[in-house]
Amino acid sequence: MARTIDQIRASKLPSNLMQFAARGALQVSAAENLEILVYLARHNPVFGTTARLTLAGWDEKASLAAAADPQTSREVLAYFISPDNLRPRLLPALLENPSITEEQLAKLAIGAALESIDLMLKSPRVRLLPSILKTLQANPYLPKERAEELRILLSGLQTVPAAVAEGAPAGEPQPAAVAADSPAAAAPETPTDEWADDEVFTAYLKEHAVDIAAEGDKPFQAIGGILELLGEDYFPVIETADAPEPDTPAPLTPAPASKTGAFKKAPVPVVRENALQKINRLDVKGRIQLALKGNKEERSLLIRDGTKVVALAVLEAPKLSDGEVEKFASQKNVLESVLRQIPLKRRFMKNYKVVRNLVSNPRTPLDLGLGLMKHLLALDLKNISGNKEVSETVRKLAMKMYKQKEEQANKK
């Protein structure tokens, strides 16, 4: 017999029963009730508001049990740990739940409020995860005393392999400790020399070996089709010294009169190709290398690469400027993973324009945009509240925060 949640997903439940479902009043198990409520809250425009209110007041004991259970639906856990829906009393249980991924913890850490920061630093699991501790270091709300505590924790974990920190059985192959240039660490402005560039490339290949192997020989394909719309001639031409194809021999020309009978090859013509043509003839590894070591024009194309491991490599480029990141944060033709990665780098989070552009970008994931909104000035909040491109949820919260800031300003 089909579960009630399956009937709701298939839109087969009568309207009167949907009303009961949105209030959590169906005669189903507690786990399925939660699953139904979360589904309605996230996907149903008619009963979503009622479901969200029901979830906000859901029995704390039952909510704690679900938050601590690894078998709880991943969608329910993702809803509970989202910064928009997080109930502080549930956070300790969520932090220790192995079904909550490190990526979810990182999203929480980057914009967590002071209460959540304290709870995360008390978590045995978080204290053993260098990547999450580094992300917490980038949190703008981190107090000085907590920053020192984080520094001490990280210094003690420098020699601890990540697999050991997660409790991997002894004797199994274990990855190296988290590198200093992880997403939360600051990237250098410029490389020191060519050797440093090669080191970055080699390290990136090693760190993402599994993803690179999975992509195989996937060709370059831009997100959003912008390149096809503009055409290849839009991009400036660069010069290379590539020789002609082997089956096209260079023409022979007579030597000067003083060297009668001698022949020499004419100078090899310079082959002209634009940046897009150059990228199109590269495989995945070649595009990664170009993303890390190429110029601004090449990075502006590769950030739109539909191959995730290539697009993310652009954000690790030593020569990447703040101005470029500001543009990336506002682009609608990039992968969602690119927009999620930007706030995980401390250097980028210090740039107000980057934060503002992310919140204003309709492609930015809702949970990320809402979490960053608290960093914005009143005028920008007002502008976003009237931006029809972003979601209604973002507009409403922007207006609410704008009014709060105005009231605070008027009291001074």
- In tens, the pLDDT along 114-131 reads 889 999 999 999 998 888
- In 10 A of CB 195, how many CB atoms? 8
For the ranges 48-62, 160-174, 196-210, the lowest mean pLDDT is seen at: 160-174
Distances (CA, A) of 119 to 51, 68, 164: 27, 15, 22
Task: State the pLDDT at residue 111.
Answer: 82
Written as one string, the DSSP assignment of 256-308 is PGGGTT-EEEPPPPPEEEEHHHHHHT--HHHHHHHHHHS-HHHHHHHTTBSSH
Could you tell me how far CA 300 lies from the centroid of its own chain?
17
Distances (CA, A) of 6 to 3, 203, 274: 5, 45, 52
The backbone torsions φ and ψ at residue 406, rounded to the nearest 5 degrees and listed phi first, read -65, -45
Paired residues of 95 in beta bridges:
none
Give the residue-averaged pLDDT of 292-313.
93
Task: State the pLDDT at residue 331.
Answer: 93
**Residue 50 in this model has a pLDDT that exceeds 80:** yes
How many whole angstroms separate alpha carbon 24 and alpha carbon 16?
13
Distances (CA, A) of 144 to 24, 89, 104, 124, 129: 43, 25, 25, 21, 20
What residue segments make up the domains of the chain, in order of their start?
4-165, 202-240+269-411
Buried/exposed 151-179: b ≥16 CB within 10 Å, e otherwise: eebbeebeeeebbbbeeeeeeeebeebbe
Percent of the chain with pLDDT over 70: 78
Give the residue-averaged pLDDT of 150-176.
54
User: Which among 15, 10, 76 has a CA at the least distance from the CA of 46?
Assistant: 15
Give the residue-averaged pLDDT of 371-394.
91
CA atoms within 13 A on the CB side of 392: 2
**Residue 113 in this model has a pLDDT that exceeds 60:** yes
Confirm if 305 and 220 have CB atoms less than 8 A apart.
Answer: yes
How many whole angstroms separate alpha carbon 187 and alpha carbon 346?
8
Confidence band (pLDDT; 50, 70, 90) for 22? Answer: very high
Task: State the pLDDT at residue 356.
Answer: 94
CA atoms within 13 A on the CB side of 266: 9
Task: State the pLDDT at residue 180.
Answer: 39
Confirm if 22 and 47 have CB atoms less than 8 A apart.
Answer: yes
Give the residue-averaged pLDDT of 298-309.
93
Task: State the pLDDT at residue 20.
Answer: 92
**Residue 277 in this model has a pLDDT that exceeds 50:** yes
Q: In the 8-state DSSP scheme, what is residue 36?
A: H
How many whole angstroms separate alpha carbon 248 and alpha carbon 104?
56
Written as one string, the DSSP assignment of 187-232 is PPSS-SSHHHHHHHHHHHHHHTHHHHHHHTTPPP-BGGGHHHHH-G
**Residue 329 in this model has a pLDDT that exceeds 60:** yes
The backbone torsions φ and ψ at residue 271, rounded to the nearest 5 degrees and listed phi first, read -85, 125
Task: State the pLDDT at residue 154.
Answer: 85
How many whole angstroms separate alpha carbon 340 and alpha carbon 364?
8
Q: Report the residue count for the chain.
A: 412
More confident residue, 193 or 333: 333
**Residue 138 in this model has a pLDDT that exceeds 80:** yes
Buried/exposed 65-101: b ≥16 CB within 10 Å, e otherwise: ebbeeeebbeebbbbbbbbebbbeebbbbbbebeebe
Element (H, E) at 77: helix 74-81
What does pTM read for this prediction?
0.47
**Residue 325 in this model has a pLDDT that exceeds 60:** yes
**Residue 235 in this model has a pLDDT that exceeds 70:** no
Task: State the pLDDT at residue 9.
Answer: 87
Give the residue-averaged pLDDT of 253-276.
55
Find the helix packing angle between 60-68 and 30-43, rounded to 10°. Answer: 90
Task: State the pLDDT at residue 225.
Answer: 56
How many whole angstroms separate alpha carbon 188 and alpha carbon 343?
16
Percent of the chain with pLDDT over 90: 42
Buried/exposed 312-322: b ≥16 CB within 10 Å, e otherwise: bbbbbbbbbee
For the ranges 34-38, 107-111, 231-235, the lowest mean pLDDT is seen at: 231-235
Task: State the pLDDT at residue 107.
Answer: 86
**Residue 332 in this model has a pLDDT that exceeds 70:** yes
